Amino acid sequence: DTAVSQTPKYLVTQMGNDKSIKCEQNLGHDTMYWYKQDSKKFLKIMFSYNNKELIINETVPNRFSPKSPDKAHLNLHINSLELGDSAVYFCASSQDQTGRRQYFGAGTRLSVL
Amino acid sequence: EDQVTQSPEALRLQEGESSSLNCSYTVSGLRGLFWYRQDPGKGPEFLFTLYSAGEEKEKERLKATLTKKESFLHITAPKPEDSATYLCAVGGDSNYQLIWGAGTKLIIKP
């Protein structure tokens, strides 16, 4: 049973399209995250939610909008996709917002053509 | 500004050849330093947390150590299955974010 699962695993789309990535965790954790990992492997935090409340909102274009319907789910919607959005997006969760140990999903590889 | 630098970028070793990976950091008030392992096509997997200078943690062939400026991940007699990218991250006391290094890609040749 996968602890943190995100779908889809691969996403290939055209510039200007809108797409969503879904994430679910079955660990009972309070906090969830979205990270972007670029080609140089840097992991950059985008958003974090604690019990459905946004607690980290980094400098990310407002084309990216997270939504947490409940504390087990955190989705990411991206409007008007651009070439520079191509990356691997990881969802993660941790027991609380101190983030001492984070559990990651397998990632969604987004390619914008 | 909080910062994490990992070196080397890549390291190729023969099976059984011990070595160390470095993670240098600057952070205001270290809340914790974290080591993760990432295999190709997968998300990072937690290895260790270190909280204060002098602390050490061990797991199989891996041993992590911490000083006030850097952490080392020592790998003893590595096997090919230890091949992965090893990521270091630090948390400071100014917020709950983690600052990540770019990782060290470790390749162990049989």
Query: Each residue of A70-104: pLDDT tens digit?
Result: 999 999 999 999 999 999 999 999 998 887 899 99
Q: How far is B8 from chain A (nearest CA, A)?
A: 14
Q: What is the pLDDT of residue A99?
A: 76
Backbone angles phi, psi at B68, to 5 degrees: -75, -10
Q: What is the pLDDT of residue B92?
A: 87
User: Hunting for tokens 């399209």 — which residue is that?
Assistant: A17
CB B15 within 8 A of CB B78: yes
How many C-beta neighbours within 10 Å does residue A49 have?
23
Q: What is the pLDDT of residue A49?
A: 93
B89–A101 CB contact, under 8 Å = no
Q: What is the pLDDT of residue A100?
A: 80
Q: How far is A107 from chain B (nearest CA, A)?
A: 6
Q: What is the pLDDT of residue B97?
A: 84
- Each residue's pLDDT, cut to its tens digit, for chain B (110 residues) gives 889 999 999 999 999 999 999 999 999 888 899 999 999 999 999 999 999 999 999 999 999 999 999 999 999 999 999 999 999 999 988 777 889 999 999 999 99
Across the interface, of B32, B42, B97, the residue whose CB is closest to A106 is B42
User: Hunting for tokens 């991206």 — which residue is that?
Assistant: A78
Q: What is the pLDDT of residues A2-55, one digit of tens each?
A: 799 999 999 999 999 999 999 999 999 999 999 999 887 789 999 999 998 888
The CA distance from A77 to B92, in Å, is 29
How many C-beta neighbours within 10 Å does residue B44 have?
27
The CA distance from B21 to A46, in Å, is 27
B92/A contact by beta carbon, under 8 A: no
The DSSP annotation for B88-104 comes to EEEEESSSSPEEEP--E
